[in-house]
A = this chain, B = another copy of it.
Amino acid sequence: MEAPQNTKRTKASEPTLKRLPRYLHYLQKAQDKGILTISAPVIGKELQCDPTQVVKDLATTGVKGRPRIGYNIHELIQTIESFLGYNRANEAFLVGAGNLGMAMMSYPDFQRFGLKIVAAFDTNRDKIGRSRSGINILHMNKFQDLARRLQVRIAVLTVPHTVAQEVTDLLVASGIEAIWNLTPSQLQVPEHVIVQNTSMYANVTLLLKKLQEKDESESVQ
**Residues of A in contact with B (beta carbons under 8 Å apart):** 9, 11-12, 14, 17-18, 20-22, 25-26, 47-48, 84-85, 90, 98-100, 102-104, 106-107, 109-110, 113-115, 153-154, 177-178, 180, 184, 186, 188, 194, 196, 198-214, 216
Contacts and interface: CB of A to CB of B under 8 A. Distances in A.
Main secondary structure of the interface of A (DSSP, over half): helix
A21 B85 contact: no
A100 to B, nearest CB: 4
B90 A100 contact: no
A46 to B, nearest CB: 9
A196 B207 contact: yes
A89 B24 CA distance: 38
Contacts of A11: 213
A209 B85 contact: yes
A206 B198 CA distance: 11
Given A85-B209, A204-B180, A186 B107 contact: no
Contacts of A209: 12, 17, 84-85
A206 to B, nearest CB: 6
A113 B208 CA distance: 9
B207 A180 contact: yes
A198 B197 CA distance: 12
A99 B110 contact: no
A114 B202 CA distance: 12
A115 B204 contact: yes
